[in-house]
Structures are given as structure tokens and as C-alpha cells.
């Protein structure tokens, strides 16, 4: 196949059956196949990758993807590269709010240096008392520095507008626990996507995956990926020394601890434990931290 010699750069917007659609700097989309020598590298192109490619000049107009440019980060599940922002869709009902899972998701994003926004969904299913009980939790995460969008009606226009205000010039993933309502959220943000949604399994209080393929869609000045939801997050690449650094409220107090490198567990003179006793650190967050540390200690070292 003949190709132009001119090398262009762009971002992969779709990967399907060995073909890669690339959005170039001129805004045009080009279909390519990977050059043979790319298969010998350890990196596989994924949606979101910034790449160098050539444009086809024959009847099929197929170009070649030449190489992957340096990555900012890459998610394995779902496979998306160079993510700037993650909307963590978290149900407060059906399934019930799971703060441990939310903290796992936030930890995983922090490791990848991805900015999170927490979007609380299904809030319209709460009773008045349940809505009131949710407010200290919202305030706690906001005090840490996490933006939280929690509309009284799940997909209120003002909430959608506030969310889209964060998208400009960013690659955004919308992710979260299975059946949290992330596909429904994307349908409200961009109705033309018509993403599949299913009814929740009331017997198991969880659902099945409905999103199968990753694509990038232009939205509010950015690019948004529809990604598979998940009900568990694997933290097996995070060791016990990294964990305290990935909790922003712990990292902010670390220099006040008596011992450098304090793990905030049994050490005397720990500023984090003092803040916990004073009620300025969320008890649920610290309990999750203890659990994650126990999991890290039990994990077999990698060689």
C-alpha cells in the first residue's frame, strides 16, 4: 500500500479489529493500520494514545500508525491512555453507597495522576433523612479537595452543566462501580450517543457490564471516553509506602508526624492519628486506609 511520506501526529479515537482511527491536529479523522515493526514493541496502541502516522494515498485511503508517543498514563481496565480527568460515578442507592470502593477508585486514579470528580447518582431515590445523612460525607470529600457533584435530582441540568465545565481541553473518562448509572449520565450529557443501559439485578444488588468498547466522543470542548464500569479495583501495584502519599489529607499532615516516613498506623506522635481523634479526618477514610495497608502487607512481593 502506498502512503504519503509526510508524518503527522494525532490521537487514537477508536480501535477496532486492527484498525485505528486517528484525529489529527487539523481535526480530520484518518483510518490507519499499525506498521509491522510496532508489533515488536511492548506497547499496544490504545484509545487516547498520541501517535505518529502517515496518510494513505491509494483508493482505500488507509495510512500507517508508525509509533506511540510518550504516554502521560495508561489505564488497563478500561484501556485508555493520556487521561486528564475521571468522573467517578457513584450510586447512593441501588446499589447502596460503597465508600470503600469509592476510596479504591480515588486511590487508583491518584496513582495515575488523574484528577477525579465525584458524581453522586441516583440521589432522587433517597429519603429526606438519607439525603441529610449524606451531607457530612459530601462535605468530608470536598474538604479533602475532591470536587463533588451531588444534585438532588440525579441528572439535573445545572449539575450536567457544572460537570461539563471541567471538560475543556481534557481527555475524560466516565467510570465507576457497575450499575452506578454512568452510561445513563453519558446519555444525558450527549443524547446522540444512545448508550446501552440495563435494569439492575435486585436479587444480587449489582448489575452486568453494559459497555463493551471504548470510543472517544467530542463533548464540551474535550474528548470523553465511554468506559466499562467495574465493581472492584486492583491496588496490587501500590505498596505500603506509597499509600500514605495517595491520601491527600494524610500527605498534608505528614510533615507534622514525629517520625519521617510515618505510616500512620502504630507510630507515636502521628499527626494523622491525632487528626482522626479530633474528627478532622473522616473515620471511614482511615478505616479504608488501614484495610489497604493490611492488604499491602499480605501481598507477595513482585520480582
Which pLDDT score, from 0 to 100, does residue 231 have?
A: 53
Residues contacting residue 147 through CB under 8 Å, at least 6 positions apart = 116, 117, 118, 166
Which pLDDT score, from 0 to 100, does residue 233 have?
A: 72
Give whole-number Cα distances, 234 to 75, 76, 121, in Å. Answer: 12, 11, 23
Give the β-pairing of 222-226 and 171-176.
parallel
Please state the pTM of the whole predicted model: 0.85
Residues contacting residue 156 through CB under 8 Å, at least 6 positions apart = none
Which pLDDT score, from 0 to 100, does residue 177 have?
A: 80
Which pLDDT score, from 0 to 100, does residue 230 have?
A: 58
For the chain, 303 residues long, the average pLDDT of each consecutive 10-residue run is 73 91 91 82 89 79 90 86 94 93 93 95 95 97 97 91 95 85 84 52 37 76 76 79 96 96 96 97 98 90 59
Amino acid at each position: 500500500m502506498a502512503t504519503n511520506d509526510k508524518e503527522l501526529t494525532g490521537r487514537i479515537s477508536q480501535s477496532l479489529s486492527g484498525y485505528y482511527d486517528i484525529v489529527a491536529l487539523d481535526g480530520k479523522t484518518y483510518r490507519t493500520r499499525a506498521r509491522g515493526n510496532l508489533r515488536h514493541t511492548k506497547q499496544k496502541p490504545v484509545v487516547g494514545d498520541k501517535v505518529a502516522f502517515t496518510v494513505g494515498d491509494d483508493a482505500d485511503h488507509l495510512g500507517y500508525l508508525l509509533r506511540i508517543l510518550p504516554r502521560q498514563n495508561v489505564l488497563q481496565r478500561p484501556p485508555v491512555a493520556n487521561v486528564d480527568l475521571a468522573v467517578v460515578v457513584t450510586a447512593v442507592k441501588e446499589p447502596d453507597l460503597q465508600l470503600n470502593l469509592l476510596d479504591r477508585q480515588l486511590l487508583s486514579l491518584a496513582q495515575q495522576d488523574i484528577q477525579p470528580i465525584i458524581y453522586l447518582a441516583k440521589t432522587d431515590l433517597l429519603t429526606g433523612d438519607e439525603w441529610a445523612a449524606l451531607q457530612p460525607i459530601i462535605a468530608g470529600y470536598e474538604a479533602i479537595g475532591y470536587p463533588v457533584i451531588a444534585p438532588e435530582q440525579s441528572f439535573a441540568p445545572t449539575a450536567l452543566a457544572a460537570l461539563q465545565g471541567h471538560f475543556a481541553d481534557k481527555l475524560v473518562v466516565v467510570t465507576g462501580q457497575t450499575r452506578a448509572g454512568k452510561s445513563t449520565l453519558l446519555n444525558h450529557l450527549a443524547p446522540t450517543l444512545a448508550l446501552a443501559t440495563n435494569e439492575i439485578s435486585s436479587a444480587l444488588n449489582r448489575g452486568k457490564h453494559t459497555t463493551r468498547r471504548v470510543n472517544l466522543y467530542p463533548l464540551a470542548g474535550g474528548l470523553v471516553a465511554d468506559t466499562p464500569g467495574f465493581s472492584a479495583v486492583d491496588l496490587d501495584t501500590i505498596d505500603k509506602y506509597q499509600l500514605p502519599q495517595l491520601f491527600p489529607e494524610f500527605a498534608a499532615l505528614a510533615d507534622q508526624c514525629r517520625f519521617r516516613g510515618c505510616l500512620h498506623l502504630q507510630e507515636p506522635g502521628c499527626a494523622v492519628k491525632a487528626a482522626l481523634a479530633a474528627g478532622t479526618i473522616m473515620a471511614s477514610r482511615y478505616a479504608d486506609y488501614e484495610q489497604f495497608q493490611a492488604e499491602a502487607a499480605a501481598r507477595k512481593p513482585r520480582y
